[in-house]
Amino acid sequence: MVDFSLNENDKNIIRALRKQGEVQRKYARYYDDHEEELAPDEFPEAAEFDYIKQMEADRGHDGCTPTVFFLLKTITEYRGDFLRLRLPPYALGNATLASVGTEEQQKKWGHMLLAMANTEPGCGSDSKAIETTATLDGDEWVLNGEKIFVSHGVRAGGVVVWATLDKSVGRGAIKAFLVPKYAPGFILAKEEKKMGNRYSDTAAIVFKDCRIPRENLLGLDETIKTKGGGGFKGLMKTFNLTRPFVSARGIGHVLACREFVTDELKKEGIEIDWEVGQYKRTAVQQKLIELEAELEAATLATMHAGWLADKGVYNNLEASVCKSKAGDISRKGPQLALEILGASGITHDQLVEKWFRDTRATDIYEGTAEIQRLVIARSILNYSSQELK
Amino acid sequence: MISFELSKEQELVQKTTKEFAAGELRNIARDCDEDNKIPQKVLDKAWELGLANAAISEEYGGIGMERSALTTVLICEELSYGCATMASAIMSPSAFIQPLIDFGTEDQKKEYLPLHAGEKFKAAAMALHEPQFTFDPTDLRTRAEKKGDTWIINGVKRLVPFGDTAGHFLVIAGTGDAGLCGIDAFILPRDIGGLTIDSKTEKTMGLKPLPFSRLSLDNVAVPDTNRLGGDEGIDGRALINSVRIANSAICVGLSKAVGDYAIPYAKERVAFGEPIAKKQAIAFMLADMYTETECMRWMVWKAASQLDQKVDATKATTLACHYVNQKTIQIADNGVQVFGGHGYIRELPLEMWLRNARTLSVMEGMVSA
């Protein structure tokens, strides 16, 4: 049955997570101001909310399906200003390990926080153009190249590095390697300063004759595929899993903005009457409706992508649909919120300006707005990546 | 629990409607629009499938399918994928039938539902829209005053579909304070004293072939028994939300039609040595059409599922309608743009879809989910 309601168990968990979020928010400003400090694993009051883990363990099977529930949870956590990004399995490297690693590899490294290194100074969204190389030397892989925008690259225990076995081949030669932080030749070159998401570190890493054991190739497949995607498909598969979650994060921040605006205007006596026609609404009320409608659209598209994943349906298209929509609202939403709030909204006293800066990244990382549209267009037009560039 | 799972019955209804729309509606849409005619034969064929009246229970001569707003929005989308005008025409009696099922007293159901339970199209309509440019269902100018056991109704209604042939109208009038809780619905036979139906049908930019009428109500006196729901009246919110969301579902079908129609054309049409679909300016437009249509559908489903769960769907409906109205017109407009000059020529359906999109997206609706 088509249903968009939550049962009591799930509602209670969301309520508890919102409460936890109110506490986490107290620290949001500090770690935004102190970019150089590593946020702690847990916020000081974390233990008071241990009961949420128990509630989750007890929620039974009649609630939302796992991915949908996890998306709802992510939205709520990011609404609260999430500080615990560094704990596994939240990092992209962990998601890659889960989708392309062998069972043994997953067991060996699954507990570690794993960053993912894909982007290079010369390529971003065009992942197949990467130039970092991996060459087999005896029983070791030797990596050479430079990776940038590595989220959690500073704190992670290891990094999943995408490198090519043969630059002349293209996608079929691109493989993922697990590189522990202290492998010889692993050079942490730089910690980036960013517009937002300052609690989370972003690194530039150089691999200079960096040597790792042969068994650190994720999936252990050393063959170069001259046809098809090869290891590159694993990268894309990772994105199918993670795009809805990136969407959920953006949605969470926009939700925070929307709620802040609604609450503040309510204090001033401005509320939306949901049933009246447009003649009886002010321009501000109309903007609020637009903000909420776009947010709803992104949320439902994200839930749909998650729901398909839970059904075991291939959701490449829907993952990009939700990311495209959530990317859109992650830019438009906070902009609209600040437009409504006026000058006081941009001050350091409020978190809205921080959410604006934080969530701007949603439409960039794990595939820009434009890449999502390419993926969607290829899918509906039945074009390959060669046919539609 | 959040789920997008249709029931087996809903899947079947969706499939049947899709096939009907593909086989019977898409190919006649242009001719209907040019000739301003709604073929009775096609209306009857649709009614043989029971699309608008399947929820009438067996005791009133119907099939007795589960009454579901969600099933109705599925039907509306699929019919509209074939032709939005025909979808509105086929389903227009639902705006009389569904409120009767939902709010009618036993006597009212017994009297009126059997008239519409058959396998042939029988016109009946909701009279909701009014002529003033500030028309708003929460603030109707048509008013009904109670005098003893009688209600006296005064006002003007317009854009009433099939006003020329409908046997009965469900006239929506204000009886209380402003707001959807201050409205009532009255069952009026077409020959009631004081009701004048303009003999000329109204001409419109879109949904052109639909015979729209203007109704003038001058001290129309109806007994208390004609007030829908009797002493209890109706849930004005549920009634209007059902109309609004069905209209949005028709917009979703139209939007999907535009997107799907543009894809093969963009792949065939060559400019500067390659199909225009290979140019990002076009490809991205098509991608956005797809994305928005998906989002629109889920928003419509959410409101419809709330109507089925009998919770207040006003917010979900307002959000859905706001979103759908904006995106539909954008999609239909971009549809014309992809086709360029061909989109503007009346041989292809694009310009018709744009007119229909603009029409639907400013209407409250004439169908009930």
Q: How far is A240 from chain B (nearest CA, A)?
A: 16
Contact flag A376-B291 (C-beta cutoff 8 Å):
yes
CA distance A170 to A162: 12
Per DSSP (E only), the strands in A327-378 are none
Residue of B nearest to A288 (CA): B319
Q: Is B269 on the interface with A (CB under 8 A)?
A: no
> What are the residues whose beta carbons fall under 8 Å from the beta carbon of B323, sequence distance 6 or more?
A293, A294, A296, A297, B295, B296, B299
Residue of A nearest to B299 (CA): A297
Contact flag A293-B2 (C-beta cutoff 8 Å):
no
Contact flag B278-A383 (C-beta cutoff 8 Å):
yes
Quick one: average pLDDT of A134-158?
94
Residue B207, burial from CB neighbour count under 10 angstroms (0-12, 13-18, 19+): buried
Angle between helices A283-311 and A232-267 (to 10 degrees): 150
Lowest mean pLDDT among A29-38, A61-70, A143-152, B3-12: A29-38
Residue of B nearest to A292 (CA): B319
Amino acid occupying residue A268: E
Contact flag A300-B138 (C-beta cutoff 8 Å):
no
Contact flag A4-B305 (C-beta cutoff 8 Å):
yes
Question: How many residues would you count in chain A?
Answer: 389
Burial B38-51 (b: 16+ CB within 10 A, else e): bbeebbebbbebbb
The per-residue pLDDT of chain A, averaged, comes to: 91
Contact flag A376-B287 (C-beta cutoff 8 Å):
yes
Going along chain A from its start, the domains and CATH numbers come out as 8-79 (no CATH), 101-228 (2.40.110.10), 233-381 (1.20.140.10)
Interface of A with B in 164-183 (CB under 8 A): none
Q: How far is A306 from chain B (nearest CA, A)?
A: 10
Contacts with A388 from chain B: Cβ below 8 Å: 277-278, 283
Concatenated DSSP letters of B288-337: HHHHHHHHHHHHHHHHHHHHHTTS--HHHHHHHHHHHHHHHHHHHHHHHH
Q: Is B324 on the interface with A (CB under 8 A)?
A: no
pLDDT tens by residue, A61-102: 889 999 999 999 999 999 998 665 445 556 788 888 988 899
Q: How far is A112 from chain B (nearest CA, A)?
A: 32
> Residue A227: which pLDDT band, with cuts at 50, 70 and 90?
low
Residue numbers of B annotated as active site = 364
Quick one: average pLDDT of B189-207?
95
Residue B123, burial from CB neighbour count under 10 angstroms (0-12, 13-18, 19+): buried
Q: How far is B111 from chain A (nearest CA, A)?
A: 32
pLDDT tens by residue, B286-322: 999 999 999 999 999 999 999 999 999 999 999 999 9
Going along chain B from its start, the domains and CATH numbers come out as 8-116 (1.10.540.10), 125-232 (2.40.110.10), 236-360 (1.20.140.10)
Quick one: average pLDDT of B205-223?
97
Residue of A nearest to B70 (CA): A2
Amino acid occupying residue B272: F
Residue A50, burial from CB neighbour count under 10 angstroms (0-12, 13-18, 19+): exposed
Residue numbers of A annotated as active site = 366
Contacts with A370 from chain B: Cβ below 8 Å: 280, 284
Quick one: average pLDDT of A252-262?
97
Q: Is A381 on the interface with B (CB under 8 A)?
A: yes
